[in-house]
Amino acid sequence: MKVGFIGLGTMGGNAAKNIIRAGFETHVHDLRREAARDHLAMGACWSASPKEMVDKVDCVVSMVFGPPIWRRSFLVRKVSSRGIVPVRSGLI
């Protein structure tokens, strides 16, 4: 399984590292590329945007802080040709 992970802050960064350690092919994205430094060193792949990521993975996990950052990360109508669209926080 290929996993996408968006949001590499304190909580998301550690969760993404656990996914990488578990052996999943992991693609990561954060508004700050430097937040992915350790993840990339562990073997993760960088995605420049959520749109780029979703065409490469089977599922996406996101841990972003609050509506302003969520909007900057996900404010799109249709993310990919697969029809994946963002859901509102707390829905799942």
Positions in the chain whose pLDDT score sits under 50: 75-79, 87-92
Mean pLDDT for all residues in the chain: 80
66 occurs within a structural domain: yes
Asked if residues 82 and 15 have their Cβ atoms less than 8 Å apart, the reply is no
59 occurs within a structural domain: yes
10 occurs within a structural domain: yes
Structurally, how many domains does the chain consist of? 1
84 occurs within a structural domain: no
**CATH code of the domain containing 34:** 3.40.50.720
29 occurs within a structural domain: yes
80 occurs within a structural domain: no
Residue position matching structure tokens 């490469």: 56
Range of the domain at 18: 2-74
9 occurs within a structural domain: yes
Residue 38 corresponds to which tokens in the numbers above?
A: 């350790």
Q: What is the pLDDT of residue 19?
A: 95
Q: What is the pLDDT of residue 74?
A: 56
79 occurs within a structural domain: no
Asked if residues 89 and 64 have their Cβ atoms less than 8 Å apart, the reply is no
Q: Could you read off the pLDDT of 39-51 as tens digits, one per residue?
A: 999 999 999 988 8
Residue 26 corresponds to which tokens in the numbers above?
A: 């992991």
Asked if residues 46 and 25 have their Cβ atoms less than 8 Å apart, the reply is no
- CA distances 76 to 16, 21, 64, 92, Å, are 23, 31, 16, 19
